[in-house]
Structure 1
Amino acid sequence: MVPDVAGRLPGRGLWLPPRRDTMERALSKRIFARAARQPVVAPPRLADRVEALLARRCCDALGLARRAGLAVAGFDRVGEAARRGRAALLLFAVDGADGGRRKRAAMAGDLPAASVLTAAELGGAFGHERIVHAAVGGGTLCDRLRIDLARLAGFRAEAAIDWDLGDLGLAPAQPALQGGKSKAHD
């Protein structure tokens, strides 16, 4: 079994909603083996591995947006991008100071906002040690980042986003595994 967070590996695949509890339950109840109709050996700490892969994918997309000139970091620059209509997504470090939540809410306005990545993860995407505020301009890269952030939020209890995958024209993940008769909620 190999996690395929990009969805590009060949083969049928077994799909679950992007949530840690669903994955851990599927592993403990051997739902992957039932859906595949053959023995399946899951790597140790699969949920942690998927979380790390999703976090890496989000940071890579954010770094690409920065290099393309579509992302800015820092409270003042993010606020300016939001006011000028250049931001399509606001990102706030999940481990940022609690006192700034009101400021963040005021800054976000009607823009989608996420608090999923840590300050170190945001900083890594911008080549800094820590970043607490970031903004990304619109486009397909931003849409991909929103999808991956929503998926990652299912693996992090402290994460918060203000949209779901249905907002992006994607159906929310079904509770049943595709390709098999087993259901994840057995």
Structure 2
Amino acid sequence: MTVAEDEIPMNDRMCIVTRESGPAEELIRFVAGPDGTVVPDLKRALPGRGCSVKASRALVDQAVKKQLFARALKSDVKALPELGAQVDHLLVMQLAGMMNMARKAGQFLSGTMKVDDAVRTGRALAVFHATDAAGDGIRKITQARTAVKFMMDEEEEIPAFRLISFEEMQGLMGDNAFIHAVALAGQAGEGVVKRAKLLETYRGDRAGGV
């Protein structure tokens, strides 16, 4: 006997679109806000019944279109059309905040020369470029990543991300905005890379990769 979709039990670790379970770090949690709209809960800390969608803008948009949130939250809750964009903005803010924290811990540096040096000396976890960074600077750092890959006999180059424009960073990070930057080893640096990967995954197909 086939069980109707509406009868499949849902939980916080199951995507309401794909109905596949996964680890919390690969899911975006949502709850019903006090105003009756769906609210993203990136820290998975808000009270009340929650539901999750895999970290994918396309899947969040699909959940909105199919009105899946009301069913999952068992509430007459409204998912606004801009929910997918709201999640993207929150992920960007979360990433920028972690970059600022890592900078204070000495695990996030900016400037072409500092990035190049960190890559060539094996200290870099990942590099970051503003989406509007000039090609020359990107090529210089890419050459360093390629050289280290062959020198260290690694299967892949260290990750590189292009996720936020310089202007957007200025609004979020003030004087800490950068054109080129690098995350270094340590808890804060690893936190930056983790959040960058989540944002990249959410946007799909390595849209922010280099």
- Aligned-partner Cα distance in 1 for 2:185–2:62: 36
Aligned with residue 125 of structure 2, among 79, 88, 101? 88
Per the alignment, residue 46 of structure 2 pairs with 9
Q: Give the % identical residues.
A: 29
Q: Root-mean-square deviation (CA), in Å?
A: 2.5
Write the distance in 2 (CA, Å) between the matches of 1:3 and 1:72: 30
Q: TM-score, normalised by structure 2?
A: 0.67
- Distance in 2 (CA, whole Å) between partners of 1:160 and 1:135 is 15
Matches within 5 A, 1:22-37: 22-37=59-74
Query: 1-side partners of 2:76 and 2:158: how far apart?
Result: 46
Find the structure with the greater CA-based Rg. Answer: 2
Q: Matches of 2:76 and 2:67 in 1, distance apart?
A: 9
Query: Please, which of 46, 60, 75 is the counterpart of residue 38 of structure 1?
Result: 75
Aligned amino acid, residue 90 of structure 1: V
Cα gap change, 1:146 to 1:11, in 2 (>3 Å): farther
1 or 2, which has the higher strand percentage? 2
Q: Give the TM-score taking structure 1 as reference length.
A: 0.74
In the alignment, which of 175, 182, 193 is matched to residue 135 of structure 1?
A: 182
* Preserved CA contact (<8 Å) 2:57 2:203: yes
Tell me which of the two structures has the higher relative contact order, counting C-alpha pairs closer than 8 angstroms and 6 or more residues apart. Answer: 1
CA distance in 1, matches of 2:116, 2:174: 17
How many residues align structurally? 161
SS in 2 for 1:40: coil
